[in-house]
Structure 1
């Protein structure tokens, strides 16, 4: 039995498709089962509740072998420690007393870099990994750069202004990956019950690409002029406060962006094992353009 958390997320929903295609028994933890597609509900065991709740994870882990762990977004958390580490404490305790032997989780690049000590969300996710690793479970921490899919949050300025905005230099090439590739990598590890030990697995996409280069590709695919505009870090943080984020979580977003701009995601060399297949142009054609035109 494989337990999947955050099954309605972009990563979780695509991961479920892989696992069900392989005809593996799957149990999901969902706050509201009705948010799952009907065909999925018919094929999985469902535990309703939050995977940050002790009783819920104890029920979900019973009789299971593997766990996919993804912390849900919580912009109202006090800070990144509460959002990542404190949320994961009940699961870490339940892992120790259950039959879970393998965990695949979603984390961030940056471990071992000087920027990681004050990188907001990244710092929180790395501390979460340490918590899970301390249980002694076999662990594959899928270490992520920024997701291509995060650009979907900028559809309104793309449509209305022909621009997208971040506080990182536009000419800095950085790794970027699609959520489809993340789900594929996660499925590969979850479907293999032979591996042991603990290690990070970087998921780097096929190439490093700058935001200016992204803008040129988006212009070609969307058929209209798109430009990237770097904004001050303070303005970036302030927009999350306007979106309703707590001060601590808005600060976490700004700290993560600052660290990425200083090279946080550039500490791992891309190899055949860390390269994934979806190029940014492919993602724009298959994901961004339909959303932009909808």
Structure 2
């Protein structure tokens, strides 16, 4: 039995589709089963509720051979530690009690680099990994840079103003990855019962690009000028609080941006294996995902 959390989320639904294609029995944890497509509901066992609820995860993890763990976004959390470690603690206890054999989670790059100690969401994510590792389950933490798909949040601004924003340096080249490649790596691990031990698996895409590089690619693919504008850290923080985030979670986003500028995501040396496992280039992603989204906006 393979258990999948966040099966209606952007990454989770892609993982679910790939795992179902593998033919293994699947159980999903979902707050609202109606959000699952009818064809999917017919193929899975559904446990309704939050995967932060001790009673829900106790039911969901019973008899589980493998688990895909991904946190939901909690912009209102009182602290980033509570959003990550606090939310995961009941699940970790259930993993141990139910004897879950293998766990794959979505985490972040940066362990072992100086910026990781003060990197907001990333620091909390690595603490979450430590909590899961402490259950004794075989564990693969998929460690990520930024997602290409995050650009989709700014489709309207790209289409109407030809601009996208972030708080990192315009010329800081960093890895980035498409969520479909994340899902492919996660599904492969979930369907493979042979691995043991506990490791981080960097999922870093085939190339490093700066935001200025990304703007140049978008300009070429979309056929109109696109530029990147760096936001001051205070304005970046105000953007999150203005959209309802707690002070702590907004501050955590700034801390993560600062850490990325300081090289948080640049500590892994890319190998040919990374390009095989995560082959989607930013140009390909723009052609296949961003351009249709911009046209539809």
Identify whether the pair has TM-score above 0.5, normalized to the shorter chain. Answer: yes
Partner of 1:281: 283
Query: Aligned ranges for residues 1-40 of structure 1 at < 5 Å?
Result: 1-40=1-40
SS in 2 for 1:273: helix
Residues 1:101 and 2:94 aligned together? no
Measured after TM superposition, the shift of residue 272 of structure 1 is 2.5
Partner of 1:123: 123
Measured after TM superposition, the shift of residue 273 of structure 1 is 2.9
Measured after TM superposition, the shift of residue 159 of structure 1 is 1.9
Q: Is the Cα–Cα contact under 8 Å of residues 70 and 106 in structure 1 kept in the other structure?
A: yes
Measured after TM superposition, the shift of residue 194 of structure 1 is 0.8
Partner of 2:227: 227
Query: Aligned ranges for residues 225-264 of structure 1 at < 5 Å?
Result: 225-264=225-264
RMSD (Å), alpha carbons: 0.8
Q: Is the Cα–Cα contact under 8 Å of residues 201 and 274 in structure 1 kept in the other structure?
A: no
Measured after TM superposition, the shift of residue 155 of structure 1 is 1.4
Q: CA offsets per residue over residues 146-175 of structure 1, 9 Å max, x none?
A: 000001111122122110011111111100
d(CA) in 1 for partners of 2:94 and 2:223?
Answer: 51
Measured after TM superposition, the shift of residue 223 of structure 1 is 1.2
d(CA) in 1 for partners of 2:243 and 2:293?
Answer: 21
Measured after TM superposition, the shift of residue 116 of structure 1 is 0.5
**Runs of at least 4 residues off by over 6 Å:** none
Aligned residues: 294
SS in 2 for 1:10: coil
Q: Is the Cα–Cα contact under 8 Å of residues 62 and 98 in structure 1 kept in the other structure?
A: yes
Partner of 1:45: 45
Q: Is the Cα–Cα contact under 8 Å of residues 5 and 30 in structure 2 kept in the other structure?
A: yes
Query: Aligned ranges for residues 131-146 of structure 1 at < 5 Å?
Result: 131-146=131-146
d(CA) in 1 for partners of 2:130 and 2:65?
Answer: 20
Partner of 1:181: 181
SS in 2 for 1:90: helix
Measured after TM superposition, the shift of residue 219 of structure 1 is 0.8
d(CA) in 1 for partners of 2:160 and 2:46?
Answer: 41
Q: Is the Cα–Cα contact under 8 Å of residues 99 and 137 in structure 2 kept in the other structure?
A: no
Q: Is the Cα–Cα contact under 8 Å of residues 212 and 228 in structure 1 kept in the other structure?
A: yes
Give structure 2 stretches of 5+ with no counterpart. Answer: none
SS in 1 for 2:175: strand
SS in 2 for 1:257: helix
SS in 1 for 2:67: strand
